[in-house]
Amino acid sequence: MYTKEQKQQLSGILANIADSLDIPESKYKEAESRYKAVGNWLDANDSKLHIYKPTIYPQGSFVLGTMVKPISDDDEYDVDLVCHLEINKDNITQANLKKIVGDRLKENEIYKKMLKERRRCWTLDYANEFHMDILPAIPDYEKLNECILITDKNLRSWQKSNPKGYAYWFVGKMRVIFNQCRTALAESIRANVEDIPEYKVKTPLQKAVQILKRHRDVYFDGKGNKPISIIITTLAAKTYQNEADLFEAITNIISGMTDPKNIKGQGEKYYIPNPTNKEENFADKWNEDANLPKAFLAWLDQLKADMEMAIEQRELSDIKKLLGRILGTRVVGTVFSKLESVRGGSSKSHPPVTFSSQPNRPWAI
């Protein structure tokens, strides 16, 4: 059994770890200005794409606020983008859509050097910063407003997608707590709620997804059958009940994720539908390869055991050791050194500050 204080302490530590795993704000801004520049290039007056009103918008973890620092320093953040052109699908082929976007990118000398073609997208590789996956897309006029069609080199028919709808759905799953977090953040820095940009607010759901993804990355490091992020994110959002406490959110999400009614359909087949398009089954591959669901469930068993062990620890040093093993020693070490310097101070009123070991030496005229 554990006390209320133990739970609060662990939730606080996990929340700090999630913050450290997030993309730093400077990188976020940098990515934003980079993709806006790409958008301007595609829509420039002399661009052949100009008539199709190209727009670029981010999708996936960048929009959901669930990005996770790669475990290796050599890896970079992935930023997923949709490049939307207003073309009717009867007037263009998949291959042609992919080509016209690629051709325009190649007209830029800088982009040309950074460009790689992938199955569904063009990737711009900003060395040491991030990969930007640009997914050419057109509207899906058969469906509602935000639905899009995307290309896939290996498939004959257009693939359906709805990243904006998915983001609305995800945000909807945490709307109550989101507003609470935003108000609390505004109060803590004496600002107006409207002045707090949405990306700055992080709810327990977003933090839980970050902790889950990181645990997965460490657990599956060097192993195959790693579960895809969209499955984790979807199941987490589906089972999240607006818990304000992060540890509680994580434990409830874990039990929800293993509940057969969330991962199976009517029969024995695995079925994790895209909440914005029930025809799309994120667990399609699980029905072809039994190792995938097996690995997913084994991982969650381990995560559950790790969380149960973490909450039983009373000593900070033991929590640090355990979390370091399951979430990475580097990020956990950074978080604890911050915590320790707070506790080391004579009172908690002044924030701990760390700066470079050789700051500038003062001078005078």
Partner 1 sequence: MELDNNSKRDLLLEHYMQLCETFSGLVLNESKEGGFTISGNLGFTVTHDGKTIEDDYDIEIIIPSDYPNNHPIVREIGNKITRDKDNHVYPSDGTLCLGAPLAVKRTFAQKRNLLWFVTEQVVPFLFSYSYKQKYGVMPFGELRHGGEGILDYYKELFSEKDEWAVLRLLKVLVDDNYKGHTLCPCGSNQKLRHCHGALLREIKKYQDKNGFLCEYGSIFEFLTKNEPNKKCDLDYVPNSILKKMQTKIKFEKTQQ
Which positions lie near partner 1, rule CB under 8 A? 25-26, 188-191, 195-196, 341-342, 344-347, 349-356, 358-365
Handedness of CA 334, 244, 220, 28 (dihedral sign): negative
Contact between 85 and 52 (Cβ < 8 Å): yes
Nearest CA to 293 among 268, 275, 276? 268
CA separation (Å) from 320 to 4, 75, 125, 315?
A: 19, 25, 35, 9
The nearest distance, CB 347 to partner 1, in angstroms, is 7
| Least distance CB 28 / partner 1 (angstroms) | 12
Nearer to partner 1, 1 or 365 (CB): 365
Cβ atoms of residues 168 and 234 within 8 Å: no
Q: What are phi and psi of 279, to 5 degrees?
A: -70, -25
Distance of CA 176 to the CA centre of its chain: 20
One-letter identity of residue 42: L
Query: Are the beta carbons of 234 and 274 closer than 8 angstroms?
Result: yes
CA–CA dist 321, 291 (Å, integer): 31
Nearer to partner 1, 172 or 345 (CB): 345
- Answer for the pair 249, 205: CB distance below 8 angstroms, yes or no: yes
Closer CB to partner 1, residue 21 or residue 263?
21
Closest separation in Å from C-beta 270 to partner 1: 43
Cβ distance to partner 1 smaller for residue 266 or 357: 357
Min dist CB 336 to partner 1, Å, is 14
Cα distance between residue 55 and residue 86, in whole Å: 9
CB of 123 to partner 1, least distance (A): 27
Which residue lies nearer to partner 1 by CB, 16 or 274? 16
**Closer residue to partner 1 in complex, CB, 91/360:** 360
Q: How far is the CB of 99 from partner 1 (least distance, A)?
A: 35
